[in-house]
Amino acid sequence: MRAGFFERIFLPGLAFKAAVIGGGYATGRELASFFLPSGAVGGFKALALATVIWSLVCALTFAFAFETRSRDYRTFFKALLGCGWFAYEIAFLLALVVILAVFAAAAGQVGSALAGFPAYAGAIGLAVAIAVVASCGNDAVESLFKYVSVLLYGTYLLFFVLALWRFGDRISTGLGHPAPSDGWIAGGTTYAIYNIIGAIVILPVTRHLRSRRDAVAAGLLCGPLAMLPAALFFLAMIGFADTLLVHPLPSDFLLSQLDMPWFRVIFQLMILAAMLESGVGGVHAINERLSNMIATRARRDRGLTPFQRLASTSAVLLFAVVVADRVGLVALIADGYRWLAYLFLLVYVAPLLTLGAARLWRTRTHAAACEGSRE
From the CA atom positions of the chain, what is the Rg in Å?
Answer: 21
Contact of 316 with 100, CB cutoff 8 Å: yes
Residue-by-residue pLDDT tens, the chain, 375 positions: 566 888 899 999 998 988 888 655 777 888 988 899 888 889 999 999 999 999 999 999 999 999 999 888 888 999 999 888 888 878 777 777 777 777 777 777 777 777 677 767 777 787 788 777 777 777 777 888 888 888 889 999 999 999 999 999 999 988 887 767 778 999 899 889 878 888 988 888 898 899 999 999 999 999 999 999 999 999 999 989 888 888 877 888 898 899 898 998 888 888 888 888 877 777 777 777 776 766 555 555 555 666 777 777 677 677 666 665 665 555 555 566 667 778 888 889 999 999 999 999 887 765 555 555 555
pLDDT score at 245: 85
Q: What's the CA gap between 144 and 92, in Å, rounded?
A: 23
Helix (H) or strand (E) holding 220: helix 212-237
Amino acid at site 171:
I
pLDDT score at 293: 64
Q: What's the CA gap between 31 and 233, in Å, rounded?
A: 9
Contact of 131 with 125, CB cutoff 8 Å: no
Q: What is the DSSP string of 267-334?
A: HHHHHHHHHHHHHHHHHHHHHHHHHHHHHHHHTSS----HHHHHHHHHHHHHHHHHHHHHH-HHHIII
Contact of 60 with 165, CB cutoff 8 Å: no
pLDDT score at 228: 93
